[in-house]
Structure 1
Amino acid sequence: MGISETYTRGRELAVTRPGSVLLGLVGVVLLFDLLVSLVTGTQSLSGVGSLVWDGLMRGLVIGLAGIGLSMTYSILNFANFAHGDYITAGAFSGWATTYLIAGLGRADVGALLLVGASGSVFGGTLGIGVTGTPVAVVAGIVVAGISTVLLALLIDRTVFKPIRDEDGITLLITSVGVAFALRYLMQFVFSSSVRGTTAQPPSLSLYLVDGAVRINAHDIALVVVAGSLMLGVHLLLQLTKLGKAMRAMADNEDLAQITGIPTERVVRAVWVVGGGLTGVAGYIFILWKGTLGFNDGWLLLLLIFAAVILGGIGSIYGAIVGGLAIGLTASLSVIWIPSSFSRAAAFFVMIVLLLVKPEGLFSGRSTA
């Protein structure tokens, strides 16, 4: 490609897609500023590496939880605002199980089942963690997934199914009501206190030129669990009859019904798969950050919506990539702005990218 042809294409891009050019220039400026900061010592390579690792951890949780939300929209055609409280419900049920197994015979059973409400028992005292109480943690992950599946199926049967033929706004507002009901029920049962859930996990150091990035056992557990489940969803969608039925129903529900696909069974499968992933995401999120409160899922929900919309609402792979993008943006933004604005930075990036590519990174509504 000659210089003149390169110039012509660049000029056409600037005229037809000025937003893309502007976004690219902003990215170049930020990258240049980061390189200057590293050279001058204002930022350390290890510090940036730690932010990248933190962003990946957040992104994996957001992406895993976003899969369920994306599947719900893709097949049931409504944005489920109760999704964040499914995350919290899964977290509380899983951690109640972990506390009970880890602390049985060492603390009051009621206090254990309430996950140490009001400081009645502490996860650090019980030595809870991947290495300290592996059986309790694995049991908690399993129970978190199963209990959230049961909760999602129950709410679908009693609340969403009777109004499934109504418009999306009706379902959306109903889901908001479900969210508030679940949130304050959990606050009533488990209290509003934020409690520590784990003991300090062992860690290893990845040494760079000017320091080290610390990676602990809970980070590794998050990567293994989230990565395995994401791979499992991919195999489900691509290699099984259920996955093909899900993709067909997402593309055209009426045609799926005509061709004999059991749509009601597919809907139940969506709640099972999405609910299970959501509950596990809630549990490993708390395992990673080490604290639990009744509002955790609601606060995470806004970032999950940002990830799903950024990736292309309805796209499973878009939810994963969007989650990683949002997580990295929220973590790395503290290089340039105060940490209190990191959440706002994630939404700002989402808005800017959607102005350039309105259909999302994965171009729209497709389960696959």
Structure 2
Amino acid sequence: MGIAETYSRGRRFAIERPFALVLAVIVVVLLGDLLRGLATGQTQFADIGTLVWDGLMRGLVIGLAGIGLSMTYSILNFANFSHGDYITAGAFSGWATTYLIAGLGRADIGALLLVGAGGSVYGGTLGIGMLSTPLAVVAGIVVSGGFAIALSLAVDRTIFKPIRNEDGITLLITSVGVAFALRYLMQFVFGSDVRGTTAQPPSLSLDFIDGTVFINAHDITLLVVASALMLGVHVLLQRTKLGKAMRAMADNKDLALITGISTERVVRATWIIGGGLTGVAGYMFILWKGTLGFNDGWLLLLLIFAAVILGGIGSIYGAIAGGLVIGLTASMSVLWIPSAFSRAAAFVVMIVILLVKPSGLFSGRATA
């Protein structure tokens, strides 16, 4: 290939896809700055390792919760703004169970069920952790998923089902109302204080030339649980009749009805699967970060929406990939900007990528 042809192709690419060129320039500049920091000692390899691991953990939570949101959109055709409060509800139910099992006989049952509201009891005092109280943690994971499923089905039957044939805006606004109702009900019951939930877990150390990256048991638990559930969703969608029915309904609801698919069964399965994953994501998020508040899910919701949009609305795999990209961006961005702007950086990356690929990373493939 001659120089003239190379120049011609490069010029044509720059004209046809200017945003891709801008993205490439930004990536090169950031990598150059990172390499300069490593060369001068301003940035350590261990720091990068810590941020990458933190971003992976954050991305797994966002991706796991994003699956349920993506399924709701692709099959029920509306953006569910109460999704973030399903996360919080699952977290509170799971942690109430964990506190009760870990602290039974050591603290007042009411204080345990309220997850230590008002500082009545602390997770650190109870020694809660994956290694120290494994039964309590496992029970909490199961209950968080089960409670979120029950909540999703109850809200659907009483609120969403009667208006399911209305337009998407009606459902969206209704979901906002459900979100506020759930959030402030949880604030009323559990209090508005942010409380610590776990004892400091033991850590494994990965030694770098210039420092150490610490990985604790809660990180490993999140990695194993999230990966297993994501694999389970993949198998369900690709290998089971229910998964095929869900994909068919997401692609064309009318055609699914004609072929004899029970749409009501698919809708119910969507809430069960999405709700269960969402509740577990909420519990694992709190296990990982070690604190719990009534608006945790709401604060996480915008990042989940960003992940779902970035991955391609309606794509389960896109939600997972988008979650990882958003999580890593939010963590890694502190290498270049103040940590207070890390969430904003995640949205900037989403916008830039969508300018290059408007349909999302997975091109908006429905359900799978």
Q: In the aligned structure 2, how far is the partner of 1:207 from the partner of 1:7?
A: 46
Query: Residue 272 of structure 2 aligns with which residue?
Result: 272
Q: Is 2:44 the partner of 1:82? A: no
Matches within 5 A, 1:22-41: 22-41=22-41
CA apart distance, 1:8: 2.9
Query: Residue 343 of structure 2 aligns with which residue?
Result: 343
Q: Is 2:101 the partner of 1:101? A: yes
Q: In the aligned structure 2, how far is the partner of 1:286 from the partner of 1:18?
A: 41
* Residue type at the aligned position of 1:201: P
Query: Residue 217 of structure 1 aligns with which residue?
Result: 217
CA apart distance, 1:9: 2.4
Runs (5+) with no aligned partner, structure 2: none
Q: In the aligned structure 2, how far is the partner of 1:163 from the partner of 1:6?
A: 58
Q: Is the 8 A contact 1:130 1:137 kept in 2?
A: yes
The SS at the match of 2:206 is strand
Matches within 5 A, 1:78-157: 78-157=78-157
Q: In the aligned structure 1, how far is the partner of 2:2 from the partner of 2:272?
A: 55
CA apart distance, 1:10: 1.9
Q: In the aligned structure 2, how far is the partner of 1:208 from the partner of 1:306?
A: 33
RMSD value, Cα: 0.8
* Residue type at the aligned position of 1:260: G
CA apart distance, 1:11: 1.9
Matches within 5 A, 1:1-368: 3-368=3-368
Query: What do residues 253-305 of structure 1 show as CA deviations (whole Å, max 9, x unaligned)?
Result: 00000000000000000000000000000000000000000000000000000
CA apart distance, 1:352: 1.1
Q: In the aligned structure 1, how far is the partner of 2:5 from the partner of 2:218?
A: 52
CA apart distance, 1:218: 0.3
CA apart distance, 1:54: 0.4
Q: In the aligned structure 1, how far is the partner of 2:268 from the partner of 2:4?
A: 58
* Residue type at the aligned position of 2:222: L
CA apart distance, 1:150: 0.3
* Residue type at the aligned position of 2:340: S
CA apart distance, 1:354: 1.0
The SS at the match of 1:132 is coil
Q: In the aligned structure 1, how far is the partner of 2:139 from the partner of 2:90?
A: 12
The SS at the match of 1:319 is helix
CA apart distance, 1:357: 1.1
Runs (5+) with no aligned partner, structure 1: none
* Residue type at the aligned position of 2:11: R
Pairs aligned (count): 368
Q: In the aligned structure 1, how far is the partner of 2:230 from the partner of 2:190?
A: 30
CA apart distance, 1:3: 4.6
The SS at the match of 1:107 is coil
Q: Taking structure 2 as the reference length, what is the TM-score of the superposition? A: 0.99
* Residue type at the aligned position of 2:47: G
Q: Taking structure 1 as the reference length, what is the TM-score of the superposition? A: 0.99
CA apart distance, 1:341: 0.4
* Residue type at the aligned position of 2:114: L
CA apart distance, 1:12: 1.6
Query: What do residues 190-214 of structure 1 show as CA deviations (whole Å, max 9, x unaligned)?
Result: 0001000000001011111111110
The SS at the match of 2:201 is coil
CA apart distance, 1:18: 0.7
The SS at the match of 1:206 is strand
CA apart distance, 1:5: 4.0
Give identity over the alignment, percent. 80
CA apart distance, 1:355: 1.3
Query: What do residues 141-167 of structure 1 show as CA deviations (whole Å, max 9, x unaligned)?
Result: 000000000000000000000000000
CA apart distance, 1:43: 0.6
Query: What do residues 6-42 of structure 1 show as CA deviations (whole Å, max 9, x unaligned)?
Result: 3332222111001101110110110010000011001
Q: Is the 8 A contact 1:74 1:365 kept in 2?
A: no
The SS at the match of 1:43 is coil
Q: In the aligned structure 2, how far is the partner of 1:195 from the partner of 1:286?
A: 10
Q: In the aligned structure 1, how far is the partner of 2:79 from the partner of 2:143?
A: 26
Query: What do residues 44-98 of structure 1 show as CA deviations (whole Å, max 9, x unaligned)?
Result: 0100110011000000000000000000000000000000000000000000000
CA apart distance, 1:4: 4.4
CA apart distance, 1:177: 0.1
Q: In the aligned structure 1, how far is the partner of 2:319 from the partner of 2:6?
A: 34
Q: In the aligned structure 1, how far is the partner of 2:3 from the partner of 2:140?
A: 61
Q: In the aligned structure 2, how far is the partner of 1:121 from the partner of 1:7?
A: 68
